[in-house]
Amino acid sequence: MRIAILGATSQIAKDYIKLQLSFDYQLLHLFARRPDDVKKWVKGLCEIKNCFIDDFSKFTKDLKFDVILNFVGVGSPIKIINMAESILDTTYKYDEMAINYVKENKDCKYIFLSSGAAYGSNFDNPVDQNSKARFSINNLEAQDWYGISKFNAECRHRSLGHLGIVDLRIFNYFSHSLDLKAGSLITDLMCAIKDNKMLETADDEMVRDYIGAEDFFQIIQCIFNAPKINTALDCYSKEPIDKKSLLEVMEERFELQYKTIQSRTLNATGKKPNYYSINKKAKELGYEPKYTSLENIIGGIQKIYGK
How does pLDDT run across 76-125, given as a tens digit for each residue? 666 666 666 789 999 999 999 999 999 999 999 999 999 999 999 889 99
- pLDDT average, residue stretch 125-150: 93
pTM of the model: 0.93
> Can you list the positions of beta strands (E) in the chain?
2-6, 27-31, 51-54, 67-70, 109-115, 165-170, 172-174, 198-202, 207-208, 210-212, 231-234, 241-242, 257-261, 274-275
Instruction: Return the minimum-mean-pLDDT range out of 138-147, 195-204, 258-267, 272-281.
Output: 258-267
pLDDT digits (tens, 9 = 90+) for 39-48: 998 887 766 6
Distances (CA, A) of 88 to 40, 61, 84, 93, 174: 30, 24, 8, 9, 25
pLDDT of residue 131 exceeding 90, the answer is yes
Chain mean pLDDT for the chain: 91
Give the pLDDT score at 237: 98
The average pLDDT across 135-141 equals 92
* pLDDT tens, position by position, 202-252: 888 999 999 999 999 999 999 999 999 999 999 999 999 999 999 999 999
pLDDT of res. 68? 98
Backbone angles phi, psi at 210, to 5 degrees: -105, 110
Show Cβ contacts of residue 76 under 8 Å, excluding neighbours closer than 6 positions. Answer: 179, 181, 182, 183, 184, 187
pLDDT at 48: 62
Asked if residue 2 has pLDDT above 70, the reply is yes
In this structure, how many other beta carbons lie within 10 angstroms of the beta carbon of residue 124?
A: 9
Q: What is the pLDDT of residue 179?
A: 80
Nearest to 128 by CA among 142, 116, 110: 116
For residue 174, what pLDDT is reported?
A: 94
What is the structure's pLDDT at 216?
Answer: 98
Q: Which amino acid is at 262?
A: Q
**54 near 29, Cβ under 8 Å?**
yes
What pLDDT, in 10s, does the model give residues 24-67? 667 999 999 999 999 998 887 766 667 899 999 999 999 999 99
Percent of the chain's residues with pLDDT above 90? 74
pLDDT at 266 over 60: no
Phi and psi at residue 232, in whole multiples of 5°? -120, 145
Mean pLDDT is lowest, of 104-108, 169-173, 184-188, for 184-188
pLDDT, residue 43, reads 83
HSE, CB side, 13 Å, CA atoms: give it for residue 65.
29
Residue among 303, 296, 76 nearest 194 (CA): 303
For the domain bounded by 2-178+210-237+276-293, which CATH number is listed?
3.40.50.720
Helix (H, G, I), strand (E, B) or coil at 259: strand
Confidence tier at 269 by pLDDT (50, 70, 90): low
Q: What is the pLDDT of residue 24?
A: 64
